[in-house]
Amino acid sequence: DTGVSQNPRHKITKRGQNVTFRCDPISEHNRLYWYRQTLGQGPEFLTYFQNEAQLEKSRLLSDRFSAERPKGSFSTLEIQRTEQGDSAMYLCASSRQGAGSSPLHFGNGTRLTVT
């Protein structure tokens, strides 16, 4: 169990640029979740995958956000035309079964700063 890996750890970008983050879950986990966390707040759910299928997407996720999980392994989260309000920590988590019955294992996150 090598844990959930996220890259990059930090990303600084200018407003209007596109960014892409990668998450490698724990290998035997078929659920993968993306959350966003801002200072002083709890993580906010963005989306989740069961294998390669994206099963739920939060209303927080505007059309500028897209996530993929090809082949049901790693996942990418892309933000197009970044805005300053996108600055946050983006957390990826994985679990063996559904979140109700199996703990979520979080990665160390990608901190995005939009200038």
Partner 1 sequence: QKEVEQNSGPLSVPEGAIASLNCTYSDRGSQSFFWYRQYSGKSPELIMSIYSNGDKEDGRFTAQLNKASQYVSLLIRDSQPSDSATYLCAVIPKFGNEKLTFGTGTRLTIIP
Binding site for partner 1 (CB under 8 A): 31, 33, 35, 40-45, 48, 50, 55-56, 58, 91, 98-101, 103-104, 106-109
Least separation in angstroms between CB 104 and partner 1 = 6
C-beta closer to partner 1: residue 7 or 80: 7
Least separation in angstroms between CB 107 and partner 1 = 6
Whether the Cβ atoms of residue 69 and residue 54 lie closer than 8 Å to each other: yes
Where b means 16+ CB within 10 Å and e means fewer, 19-37 reads bebebbbbeebbbbbbbbb
Least separation in angstroms between CB 90 and partner 1 = 11
The Cα 27–Cα 33 span in angstroms is 14
